[in-house]
Amino acid sequence: MSEQSEILHLHGPLTIKTITNVRDIVQVYLQEAALRNRALVIDIDGSEEIDLTLPQLLLSARQAAARAGVAVTLSKPADGNFLTVLQRAGLLGGDRQKDSFWLEGKAA
């Protein structure tokens, strides 16, 4: 994998009302990353309105990316509303390796 990355900035409401559009954007970025042999870095503004559909989309995107040989990471640890959604959903289990994608911005 190349040192270069495709960077996707997600901002604005990231909720069930917008997730279809967000999914389409993520798919395009994943395809571009695969074509260019690059990693995909996703930047999420934790101060935005976020619901459970975002982490669900990211989990699905990570699986698709793994099949395509693309590493997906977050640009920074989850914070703000994003972190709150992850906690409420039970997606942070205290396992450092499993939680590292969300809390350390690392591919897991």
Predicted confidence (pLDDT) per residue in 12-57, tens digit = 999 999 999 999 999 999 999 999 999 999 999 988 999 999 999 9
| Residue 97 structural domain | 5-104
pLDDT of residue 98: 83
CATH, residue 45: 3.30.750
Domain count, the chain: 1
107 Cβ neighbours under 8 A, 6+ residues apart: 39, 71, 72, 73, 101
The predicted-structure confidence for 6-15, as pLDDT tens digits, reads as follows: 999 999 999 9
| pTM for this model (two decimals) | 0.89
- Distance, CA of 69 to CA of 64 (rounded, Å): 9
pLDDT score for 107:
63
CB-based contact 52:85 (threshold 8 Å): yes
